[in-house]
Structure 1
Amino acid sequence: MKSNDTILIITRNLPPLVGGMERLNWHIADELSKDHQIIVISHSQAKFEATPQTSFYGVRLNPLPLFLLLTFITTFWVCLRQRPDILFAGSGLTAPIAVFWAKIFRKKSIVYIHGLDIGTDHLFYNWLWIPFIRSSDQIIANSSPTYDICISKGICIRKLSIIHPGVSYPPKPKNDQLIQQLINQYQLQGKQVLISVGRLTQRKGLNEFIDLSLSKVIDKISNTILVVIGDTPNQSLNKNLQSKELIIATAKKLGIEKNIIFTGNISDDDILTSFYYLADVHIFPVKHIPEDPEGFGMVAIEAAAHGTPTVAFATGGIVDAVQHGKTGYLIENQDYQKITNSIIEILENKASISEQTCMQYAEKFAWYHLKSKFEKVIVSL
């Protein structure tokens, strides 16, 4: 394919919806728009945050069947009028639409696959969606474990490649005044700060971490505070959620509710950056759920970009996002005692993980590398 092809991106996952997939698709559109004409079909609210170089077509977000139907019709209309060279599905959800119309109009298709896109055991999805994904001209996996699942689902290895999600690098510089404001606002003076960043779902395992690990960390280091950044996602297609109320109830049972702070979702990049800087450890206690895998773990890269180490369970794509012993620790087999010990080790000996090493590792995932990685896939079509 040519470097100036017209690419139609079809996805439900764009801001203002919150999540790693949403940020990724935004940056894919932004980076590819530097050399290509980009057309985007997504939910109507995404129009207000779409990159200015793109043409945008919005459809209704909910209910999901209506979104898919309207997207299917809009894709046909766009293909008929503008004849894009490549149809790109930003996740497995829109893969049938991209692949179907690409074949009808004799164009090329690319599908970007996240962990749940291919790891789900949903019978109807596996019956309808997976064959369309297999039929795409190119399939991009977001991590090496996702790549392995693709192979196990019968996807041709010659079509497969890996492109990890990215991170803004270099990060915004430290704003000492804002950091101090946050310390004062949340009474973090003299505290050891753990942060959790992400949606409250069963897979993220925050409630289990508080129950089986955090209380032990606090027993050892009493001034430890966990700052939870994120909330239960209202628009998520994954309904296996954990509520703030459930987590608070668990903390109260253990008598540590005063050691946990909920900020809710943070859309202000300056505030989120400041939390990454002031944190001592980013915790990522994702549970191993084969039918609901963690696709990558971009928040671990974001933490590393700010010099903050991550302690996580070694499951799904997290194994690509954390370099064991250098940018944090990967804990096997859901070993809560070991994750407790690793957190305590970092809190008691902050020099054990180098800020500089964390930042150097994160640079490999900078968004500005994304375009060249995608160009290799596009040229191969």
Structure 2
Amino acid sequence: MDNLPPSILFITRKWPPAMGGMETYCWELAQRLGRFGRLAIIALPGRKGGAVPTLPAMLWFGFSTAVRMIFRKPTTITHAGDLAIWPLAWIASVRGRKSKIVISLHGSDVNFANGSGIASRLYRAYIRLGAHLLKRAKLVANSEWIASLARAQGYSDVVVVPLATTLKAQSVPTGNNGALLFAGRITPSKGLGFIIREVLPLLDESTCVRVAGSVWDQQEAELLKHPQVEYLGVLGSDQLANEYARAMCVLVPSQTSEGFGLVAAEAAACGGVVIASAHSGLAEVVTPELGFLAHAGDAAAWANQIGAIAKWSASERTRFVSAAMVFAQQKYDWDRVAADTTAAYF
């Protein structure tokens, strides 16, 4: 019996068909954890079309999983997919005093505690209670910025494991379509409005912004009617990879903090030339080897960087793209994420 591989329980409320960075992380990591032990998964699937579960579904998942945890045999490792479900990890720690408790940290599940509203203050108290009760938990942050936020809330044992991308090009793209690409949720925090309202007027009037992603804010969606905007809808993986490779620039203009910035990593791995906001986890991903940074609210800086890339010769573009692709594909690899994460288990 002592020679059995370790048992791993992975718990997540972020699961396909819901779409997002946390869902991608949980799915891709879970596909690999079985290599390191006997894996069991308790997951709450999202809704068709990529939407997250309803609030009643989330509440029922929390309650029903807590009951299951109380009566379940303890595992060697219990891994909670995000900090918001720390009580489930706490139950596992009480049930199995020798169990290793691991919690993944993302952008939204930690950064929300920094807000000034009532909901943020309540959430801050909630995760600080978790820090008090889970003294022996190991936390896995996807960026040093997220790790610093967790430490500020009382969590001490935090390691950093950057994310990865499933999208990768096999060959260096040649040429580009002359357009800018925005890929992501269409909501004010992601910065599409900043690009259209403030940056686009500083560029040549023939410049087109191609937009791929789901609408989360109807007011922001009105920008899709702009004559220099082409809305592509929600794209499949192959279509999105092709758009990254064909764009003159891939823009990641987030106006609020990002835990990691997955779009930047996957765009570079597909042969895209990335410009991203110079803050939070994005600035850790978009190093000079991968792309370019501009201050989030500085329209002139964005326009100047776009203009500089537009003037590249074919050889200059190929040289940069080929090096960035190699860098992104080697660094942001899911097998590396799984290996680094399980290193925190043992």
Contact kept, 8 Å, 2:224 with 2:230, in 1: the verdict is no
Aligned-pair CA distance for 1:102: 2.3
Matches within 5 A, 1:271-350: 271-288=239-256, 293-324=257-288, 326-332=289-295, 334-349=297-312
Aligned-pair CA distance for 1:175: 12
- Kindly indicate whether residue 192 of structure 2 is the aligned counterpart of residue 206 of structure 1: yes
Matches within 5 A, 1:1-381: 4-44=5-45, 61-64=53-56, 66-78=57-69, 80-106=71-97, 107-120=99-112, 121=115, 122-133=120-131, 135=134, 137-156=137-156, 159-168=157-166, 171-173=168-170, 191-219=177-205, 222=206, 224-233=207-216, 241=217, 243-248=219-224, 257-266=226-235, 268-288=236-256, 293-324=257-288, 326-332=289-295, 334-349=297-312, 351=316, 354-362=320-328, 363-379=330-346
SS in 2 for 1:261: strand
Change (3 A) 1:78 1:335: same
SS in 2 for 1:378: coil
Aligned-pair CA distance for 1:364: 0.7
**In the aligned structure 1, how far is the partner of 2:251 from the partner of 2:3?**
43
Aligned-pair CA distance for 1:332: 2.9
The one-letter code of the counterpart of 1:371 is A
Give the length in aligned residue pairs: 330
Contact kept, 8 Å, 2:211 with 2:233, in 1: the verdict is yes
Q: Deviations over 1:141-198 (max 9, x none)?
A: 1111111212222221xx11001111136x244699xx9xxxxxxxxx9941211111
Moved more, 126-135 or 309-318: 126-135
SS in 2 for 1:100: helix
**In the aligned structure 1, how far is the partner of 2:269 from the partner of 2:285?**
11
Aligned-pair CA distance for 1:110: 0.9
Gaps of 5+ in 2: none
Change (3 A) 1:175 1:281: closer
**In the aligned structure 1, how far is the partner of 2:333 from the partner of 2:177?**
31
Identity of aligned residues (%): 24
Contact kept, 8 Å, 1:200 with 1:243, in 2: the verdict is no
Q: Deviations over 1:289-312 (max 9, x none)?
A: xxxx21100110101101211111
**In the aligned structure 1, how far is the partner of 2:20 from the partner of 2:172?**
24
**In the aligned structure 1, how far is the partner of 2:265 from the partner of 2:304?**
22
Aligned-pair CA distance for 1:272: 1.4
Q: Deviations over 1:218-265 (max 9, x none)?
A: 34xx2x2211110124xxxxxxx464533236xxxxxxx232111222
Contact kept, 8 Å, 1:193 with 1:281, in 2: the verdict is yes
TM-score, normalising length from structure 1? 0.78
The one-letter code of the counterpart of 1:194 is L
**In the aligned structure 2, how far is the partner of 1:5 from the partner of 1:342?**
50
**In the aligned structure 2, how far is the partner of 1:18 from the partner of 1:3?**
35
**In the aligned structure 2, how far is the partner of 1:46 from the partner of 1:368?**
27
Gaps of 5+ in 1: 50-59, 180-188, 234-240, 250-256
The one-letter code of the counterpart of 1:163 is V
**In the aligned structure 2, how far is the partner of 1:113 from the partner of 1:141?**
5
SS in 2 for 1:38: strand
Task: Supply the RMSD in Å over aligned alpha carbons.
Answer: 2.9
TM-score, normalising length from structure 2? 0.86
Change (3 A) 1:41 1:338: same
SS in 2 for 1:218: coil
Aligned-pair CA distance for 1:133: 4.4
